[in-house]
Amino acid sequence: MKVEIWSDVMCPFCYVGKKHFESALAALPFKDKITVEWKSFQLDPTLPAEGADISTKEYLVQRKGMPMEQVEGMLNHLKQAGESVGIVFNQDKSIPVNTFRAHRFIHFAQEQGKGNEAEEALFYAHFTAGKNVGNVDELVSLGEQIGLDATAVRAFLLTDEQSDEVKADIVEAQTLGISGVPFFVLDRKYGISGAQPVEAFVEALTQAYQESQPGFEMKGDNGAGACGPDGCEI
């Protein structure tokens, strides 16, 4: 069974949702039968590629039009939500940045079986370490950390490869009616929006997996005549 996850590196609930999803997956006896594909989504494609010169708080005040007190309250709520799943949100250090290059990096890593590792590294770098995930040198360093060849990562990032794939993901999200992230698509049959509780993921994944399996149901009278290795029943 395939699970596709639309996500953006700058989305804190995508990080929380990833942790909830992984906890649910770990509890399932059929977890090895599920493949995960990360899909690109951009919350703000107008940000500069090398990052904005303002803090996350200032950015949210400008972008959302909210007073600073409300933004600080929202960030405190996120910090508590992060702590419950082992995430340290240091959004006083986070750099608002255009995530298009980071999404290209994810596609590159995913082709080499490192999609989950790339997502985790990028989330940690952005939200906890305060790194600029739009910077080529930072992405090369992250690539090395997850076992990718640094020279290959740099060479890739200096091209426009995987740009069409990132754009296709974004268009596909619009086609599916996805307007916010995280968004999980289970076997192209069910959608889960947001960082749902672990139990909700377990229930949805179990239902989707069961429905993906070939069905077999006994019909008729089990007592009807039949023959087996030990003879026939009349």
Q: Which two tokens stand for residue 57?
A: 């708080």
Distance CA 76, CA 95 (A): 17
In a domain, 223, yes or no: no
pLDDT digits (tens, 9 = 90+) for 78-98: 999 999 999 999 999 999 999
| CA nearest to 24, candidates 184, 169, 155 | 184
In a domain, 231, yes or no: no
In a domain, 198, yes or no: yes
Phi/psi at 58 (5° precision): -65, -40
Q: Give percent of the chain with pLDDT exceeding 70.
A: 91
Predicted local distance difference test score (pLDDT) of residue 228: 57
Number of domains in the chain: 1
Residue 222 has pLDDT above 90, yes or no: no
| Angle, helix 115-123 to helix 12-26, in steps of 10 degrees | 140
Other CB atoms within a 10 A radius of the CB of residue 151 amount to: 11
Predicted local distance difference test score (pLDDT) of residue 64: 82
- Residue numbers of the domain that contains 192: 2-212
pLDDT digits (tens, 9 = 90+) for 139-166: 999 999 999 999 999 999 999 999 999 9
Phi/psi at 35 (5° precision): -105, 145
Single-letter code of the amino acid located at 35: T
- The torsion defined by the Cα of 29, 120, 153 and 91, in degrees rounded to 10, comes to 170
Which stretch of DSSP H or E encloses residue 58? helix 56-64
Which residues lie across from 4 on neighbouring strands? 37, 185
Predicted local distance difference test score (pLDDT) of residue 233: 64
Q: How many residues does the chain have?
A: 234
Predicted local distance difference test score (pLDDT) of residue 220: 59
In a domain, 152, yes or no: yes
pLDDT digits (tens, 9 = 90+) for 21-59: 999 999 999 999 999 999 999 999 999 998 999 999 999
In a domain, 75, yes or no: yes
Predicted local distance difference test score (pLDDT) of residue 18: 98
Residue 234 has pLDDT above 90, yes or no: no
Mean pLDDT, to the nearest integer, of 114-138?
A: 98
In a domain, 218, yes or no: no
CATH number at residue 161: 3.40.30.10
Q: Which of 17-21, 26-30, 229-233 has the lowest mean pLDDT?
A: 229-233
Which residues lie across from 190 on neighbouring strands? 186
Contact 52, 10 (CB under 8 A): no
- Place 213 in a pLDDT band, splitting at 50, 70 and 90: confident
